[in-house]
Each structure stands twice: as C-alpha cells, then as structure tokens.
Amino acid sequence: MILSWIGLVLQAALPQSTQVPQQAPTTLSVQMGYKVSPDTVIIGQPFNLLVKILAPRGVRFEFPAGPDTAMQNGVRPIELRGEKFVSMLGDTAVALYHLVAWDVGVQPLRIPDVRASLGGEERRPSLSGATVFVRSILPADTALRVPKPPRPLIVLPAFNWWPWLILLAAIVASVLLWWIWRRYRNRPKAPVDPYLRAQREFERIEKHGLVEGGQYGLYLSLLVDVAREYLAARIQGVRRSDTTSELLRIMNPRDGVEAELPRLLERADLVKFARAIVSREEATDAASTIRAIVDHVEARVNPDSEAAKKIAATEARAA
C-alpha cells in the first residue's frame, strides 16, 4: 500500500503519456489521462494502469471496479490482480489498477467508462483506447522447437515398517525386563529372626573346622561376636558397638547361664586385644555356654519360641 501511494504521487506529478480531452459544456469540463506501465509484458506478468481525471470542485467520480470479465475464445485476456486503489489530490482523482494479461498480442484493457457527475450533468470519459502488448516467448518458428521427453511417473517405493516395529518392540521389552530384574535384585530383603540368624551363624562357624585346625582363640571370638549381634537385635538398649562394660551394664545378667556372659565377653576381649591363649577344652566349653546363653535369652524374651519349649523340655526331663 505504501509503494502504491508513492507511485500515485509520482504519477500525478509527472506528465501523462496520453491525454483524452473531453468536449463538454463550460459548466462541466473534465480532462482525463491514463498510462500503462509497462506497456509490453509477457503472459502472467503484472502491469499497472494509472488513470488521472481533472475536474472542477464538487464533481463526483465513479471508477469502474475492474476490466470486463467476459472471456474471448475461452480465455480471459485481462484480469484484475487485487483491488483498485483510488485517491483524491486536490481536484484530481487518481485510480490505480493492478492487472495481468493471459493472451498474446495487443490486448485492450476493457475497462468501462469513468463517470463524473455534478448536479444534473454527467460525463463519461472513455478508457477504450487503453491497451497493452503481450509478447510471446515462443520461438519465431515453433516447428524448430524440440520438446523434452516426458519424465517418468514418480513412484514412491513401499517401505516395509515391520522389521523396524519388531526391533522397536524388542528394545522396549529388553528395557522393561532389565528394569524388572534391577528392581528384583534391589528389592528389600525380608527381615530374618535374630535367633534363627544366630543359629545359622553358629552352624557356619562349625563348618569352618576351626577347632580341628587348632584356631581356638578365633573360634571363641567368632562365637562371642555372634552372641553380641543377637543381643543387639533382641535386647532393648543394646547396640553392636557397645563395649563389654556397656553391654553388661544394660543387660545386668544374673540368672542361670546368663551369669556366665561377663566371663566369656572378658575372655574374648583378651583373645582379641591381648592374644591370650585358649585351650581346646575352654573353646568347646565356651561354645556350648554361648549357645545356652542365646537359648536362655530367647526363652526369656519370647516365651512362645522354640528355644523356650526346648528349655522347658530339658528342665522337665531333669526333674
């Protein structure tokens, strides 16, 4: 639109190539000029028709909407591209048409007459002389033109998606299985009963054959460590990191076989820190005593346990 305004102002300032004086009474004098730019085009190339009319003040102008749309031999020679542009510059009316031609040769623009009226008088300046020359781009002798051979039809190859879909499904299944296996491997382990764990540890130590190998001090130390683990899991307030004096102060063992616990803990400390010598008989006696202490504590803490039933059966046989 800005370029069109600039073109209208320049065209209004320049002299027009064609002036059509109109013979009219002195009461309504109308002068019209037009210009086709460019005057030679090819088919489909846009061009402009600039129309300028000078008339007295108060004249009403009516510009046609565009060229005649009737076709000739099935061809519409001139066509309006977009909309016409109309403006007033003082007593001068300016109209700009953007046109395009679709047939070769000299083509009349087929623009209807412009109407200028004032009071009861009317003038119709004619645009029948406005033409454009449409040149052909064909060679002078069209028989010399050798057309290119027709191109083959574009055939889109059929793509087999099934292998890729199977591969994608296999990748998804592999990732899913890996995730399930990882969750299964890192699943939280079910808690093991402290008494059962202590019994398993006792059996594992026995399988090492430490007594037969003469490692009596190591044998005693491992048994005491198992008892410490059991007491820390079963007795309220006892921790695995407690020293011997702290553990004894919390438990305060006085009854039955539990009274032997201080002696065994102190003996194990001497083996660990002072490399005390332990005999075979002392090691085997300590093993049976430690097992008995674990059974006694389990029976006291859990009266319905198998340890409590076993101690009750032993006491019944002794009685």
State the Cα–Cα distance between residues 20 and 30, nearest whole angstrom. 10
Q: Which two tokens mark 215? A: 């490692």
Give the phi and the psi of residue 144 in degrees, each rounded to 5: -80, -10
The size of the chain, in residues, is 319
Exposure string for 62-92, b = 16+ CB within 10 A, e = fewer: ebbebbeeeeeeeebbbebeeebbeeeeeee
For residue 44, what pLDDT is reported? 86
Q: Which two tokens mark 239? A: 């921790």
Q: Which H or E run contains 30?
A: none
- Residue 61: strand pairing partners: 116
For residue 53, what pLDDT is reported? 86
Domains of the chain, residue spans: 2-137, 194-318
What average pLDDT does this structure show over 234-250?
87
What average pLDDT does this structure show over 92-117?
88
Say what percent of the chain tops pLDDT 90. Answer: 19
- Residue 121: strand pairing partners: 118
What average pLDDT does this structure show over 9-18?
45
Per-residue pLDDT reduced to its tens digit, 193-223: 888 898 899 999 999 889 889 999 999 999 9
What's the CATH fold of domain 2-137? Immunoglobulin-like (2.60.40)
State the Cα–Cα distance between residues 84 and 64, nearest whole angstrom. 9
State the Cα–Cα distance between residues 187 and 201, nearest whole angstrom. 23
Of 12-26, 41-55, 59-73, 271-285, the poorest mean pLDDT is in 12-26
State the Cα–Cα distance between residues 194 and 240, nearest whole angstrom. 13
Give the phi and the psi of residue 112 in degrees, each rounded to 5: -65, 170
